[in-house]
Structures are given as C-alpha cells and as structure tokens.
C-alpha cells in the first residue's frame, strides 16, 4: 500500500502543467529516465538515522527589477524545513544574497529560528576576496561549518552549468556521432559550462557556483546522498539524464541542459511540488503524520505573499512580484499540495 501511495504522489507532481516538455518523446523522456528516483529519494531520507539535510535553492530571474529569485524553490525549501524538523531531521538552507531576505521572511513567518535552521549565504561570484570560499572545498566548509556533517544535500530549483564536450563524451558510445554533431551545433564553446535560464540567458556571473557543493559531494563525500529537484532540464541534478534526452524533449534543452548529476533526481511539473512530495513521502515511510497546517492552502498562500513582499521574490515566468509560481495562479499551483495532503492523511491513522 505504501508503494502505491508513493507512486500516486509521484504521478501528481509529474504533471507537465507548464508544457515544459517533460514527456515530449513518449518513450524516452525526463520522466522515464528517472523512474523510481522519487521513491528512492524518500527512502534514503526516511531510513537514515540522525539525518542532516542541506537545501540549496534560489534561481535568479535576470529580468526582474530589482534582481530577485523566483518563487519556485524558496517556498519549497521553507516547506521542507517545516516538515522535516518535526520528523527529527536537521535542516540548513543555503542560497545567494539576492534570496536571503525572502528566506529570512519565510522562516520568521513560520516560527523557525536560525538556531533551528542555519541560513548560509553562498559566496558571491567573481569576488576576489571570496575566491577561496568559491572553491569546492571552500563552499563545502561554509555549508558544514554551522552545524556539522551532512547526510543529504538537496538542490531545489537551483541552476547548474551546461555540458562540456568532455562531459558529453562520458555519456556517449563510439557510435553516437550524430549526437556529437548536434552538440557542436547547439552548444558553442562560449556556452559550455555556463548557467542558463530556460530562455538561454547566461547568468553564470550573477550566481554563486553552488554546483561545486555537488561536485565535492559526488567526488569526495561518498557518504552524502545528493538529491536534485527540477522542472526544466537546467537545474542541478539533471546531469543524471543524458544530454540527448533533455535536448529532444525540452525546448532549448541542448543549450541549457545541466551537466551536474545527483544520486536521485525528482523531475516534476513545478519544483516546489517536488519538495511537497518529498516531505510527504518521508513522513509516510516513517509512519508519521505531518502537521495538518502543512496541507492548508491559506497559510501557504500567506507565506508566499510574505516572501514575495519582503524578499522580494518574483514569478519565474512573468518576472513580477506576484503570489504565483511559474506563471500559475495560486489556486491552480496549490492543487497538488491539496491532493498529496488527502492521500497521506488518509493513509496514516
């Protein structure tokens, strides 16, 4: 029964509500490439004793004025903190300077102190003073210093760098010359290893190199499990899917596809939905009931409003500071949260 409910939760969040192209090819797409990953991510967290999680979030919207992060990501990070803390899982959140105020506002509104959830500001890009901190080891030390070692590192709607010729070659076999030719046409040298929006705008110099945390975890910290949550192909974690699959499914996917993999990758229609689902799945597997208010629509709306107004945060599609996510009116956006709440509430007495 638990496995069936987990699959139903997964089905709910994988609706391609924004027509991103998650299933453009019905046989080989972002959903089929990550079958079972959602359940594996839930089990990994649920079955880890004394779990300690770091959530990296904040996607810069370059056409916002002032420069701001989008509403997809930070709201989900606060939700994960609200849900995981009662389960005895330690949480910290890391982000850039342009997203700090929104997360602080969200934590204050949720009654979460920085003693409970340390908030780590990632090193600014291109700052000579912080160059050492921007290295993989430097980023890792900044993240783990506040409250010790981690068991899990989560990227929630966090941009990551595009493929290089070398990373493409790691995925290909000797007979894949057509894919090599496509890569040469679609990803010129100037756009390799760069962070892009879904529109193909290069924002590398405006965001902290948070992907180095995952490079470090994947290379040196084998005991740390990495989880990616994304909805567009350009987020950290999407390197688990082959470049060609993202290219063939996502508009502009060849250019923006992220090269950085994670152990588990949750692909969803809206990244915040992945956060809702992960929290519910972990609680379900632990046989725990999450607080009822976590599935109450109005508090979630007011929390988003607070973060938008005090951050600010903006809708990632429109660039406007509205109580909406990925171009979806709040009433439509929040339906998966309601459906997940109904499922897990009825499943746990």
Is 94 within 8 Å of 143 (Cβ atoms)? yes
Rounded Cα gap, residues 158 and 96, in angstroms: 11
Report strand pairing: 60-61 vs 68-70.
antiparallel
Crossing angle, helix 37-46 and helix 271-285, to 10 degrees? 50
| Predicted pLDDT at 131 | 46
Report strand pairing: 313-314 vs 324-325.
unpaired
Task: Please say if the pLDDT value at position 335 is more than 70.
Answer: yes
| Predicted pLDDT at 104 | 98
Q: Judge whether 347 lies within some domain.
A: no
The pLDDT confidence band at residue 346, using thresholds 50, 70 and 90, is confident
CA distances in angstroms from 6 to 11, 40, 176, 258, 284, listed in the order given: 9, 10, 36, 27, 8
Residue 221 burial class via C-beta count within 10 angstroms: exposed 0-12, middle 13-18, buried 19 and up: middle
The pLDDT confidence band at residue 85, using thresholds 50, 70 and 90, is very high
90-95, strands of its sheet edge to edge: 119-121, 90-95, 52-57, 152-156, 225-230, 264-267
Provide mean pLDDT across the span 236-263: 97
Task: Please say if the pLDDT value at position 229 is more than 90.
Answer: yes
Q: What percent of the chain has a predicted confidence (pLDDT) above 90?
A: 86
Task: Please say if the pLDDT value at position 46 is more than 60.
Answer: yes
What's the domain count of the chain? Answer: 1
Q: Judge whether 349 lies within some domain.
A: no
Q: Judge whether 242 lies within some domain.
A: yes
Crossing angle, helix 297-310 and helix 97-109, to 10 degrees? 140
Provide mean pLDDT across the span 83-101: 97
Residue 298 burial class via C-beta count within 10 angstroms: exposed 0-12, middle 13-18, buried 19 and up: exposed
Provide mean pLDDT across the span 251-262: 97
Q: Judge whether 65 lies within some domain.
A: yes
Q: Judge whether 234 lies within some domain.
A: yes
Residue-wise pLDDT for 17-32, tens only, equals 989 999 999 999 999 9
| Predicted pLDDT at 132 | 46
Q: Judge whether 278 lies within some domain.
A: yes
The pLDDT confidence band at residue 216, using thresholds 50, 70 and 90, is confident
| Predicted pLDDT at 221 | 54
Residue-wise pLDDT for 284-305, tens only, equals 999 999 999 999 999 999 999 9
Average pLDDT, the chain: 93
Is 4 within 8 Å of 39 (Cβ atoms)? no
| Residue 27 structural domain | 2-342
Bridge partners (DSSP) listed for residue 235: 159
Task: Please say if the pLDDT value at position 134 is more than 60.
Answer: no
The pLDDT confidence band at residue 140, using thresholds 50, 70 and 90, is confident
Higher pLDDT, 328 or 171: 328
Rounded Cα gap, residues 332 and 335, in angstroms: 6
Is 107 within 8 Å of 306 (Cβ atoms)? no
Task: Please say if the pLDDT value at position 113 is more than 70.
Answer: yes
Nearest to 333 by CA among 18, 11, 6, 5: 18
Q: Judge whether 243 lies within some domain.
A: yes
| Predicted pLDDT at 168 | 94
* CATH at 297: 3.90.1640.20
| Predicted pLDDT at 222 | 67
Question: What 3-state DSSP class applies to 157?
Answer: coil
Provide mean pLDDT across the span 166-189: 92
């Amino acid at each position: 029964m638990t496995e069936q409910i987990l699959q139903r939760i997964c089905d709910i969040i994988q609706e391609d509500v924004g027509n991103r192209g998650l299933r453009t090819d019905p046989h080989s797409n972002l959903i089929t490439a990550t079958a079972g990953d959602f359940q594996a991510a839930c089990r990994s967290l649920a079955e880890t004793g004394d779990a300690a999680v770091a959530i990296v979030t904040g996607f810069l919207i370059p056409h916002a004025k002032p420069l701001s992060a989008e509403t997809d990501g930070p709201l989900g990070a606060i939700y994960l903190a609200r849900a995981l803390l009662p389960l005895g899982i330690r949480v910290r959140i890391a982000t850039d300077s342009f997203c700090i105020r929104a997360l602080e506002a969200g934590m204050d509104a949720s009654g979460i102190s920085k003693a409970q959830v340390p908030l780590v500001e990632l090193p600014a890009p291109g700052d000579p003073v912080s160059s050492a901190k921007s290295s993989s080891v430097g980023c890792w030390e900044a993240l783990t210093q506040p409250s010790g070692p981690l068991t899990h590192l989560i990227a929630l709607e966090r941009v990551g760098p595009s493929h290089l010729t070398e990373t493409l070659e790691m995925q290909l076999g000797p007979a894949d010359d057509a894919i090599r030719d496509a890569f040469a046409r679609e990803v010129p040298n100037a756009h390799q290893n760069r962070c892009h929006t879904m529109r193909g705008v290069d924002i590398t110099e405006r965001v902290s190199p948070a992907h180095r945390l995952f490079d470090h975890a994947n290379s040196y910290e084998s005991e740390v499990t990495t989880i990616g949550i994304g909805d567009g192909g350009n987020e950290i974690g999407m390197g688990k899917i082959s470049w060609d699959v993202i290219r063939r499914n996502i508009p502009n996917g060849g250019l923006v596809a992220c090269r950085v993999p994670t152990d588990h990758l949750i692909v969803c229609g809206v990244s915040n939905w992945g956060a809702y689902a992960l929290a519910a799945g972990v609680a379900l597997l632990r046989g725990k009931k999450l607080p009822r208010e976590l599935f109450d629509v109005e508090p979630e709306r007011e929390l988003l409003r607070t973060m938008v107004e005090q951050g600010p945060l903006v809708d990632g599609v429109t660039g406007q500071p509205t109580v909406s996510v990925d171009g979806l009116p709040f009433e439509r956006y929040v339906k998966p949260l309601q459906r997940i709440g109904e499922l897990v509430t009825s499943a746990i007495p």
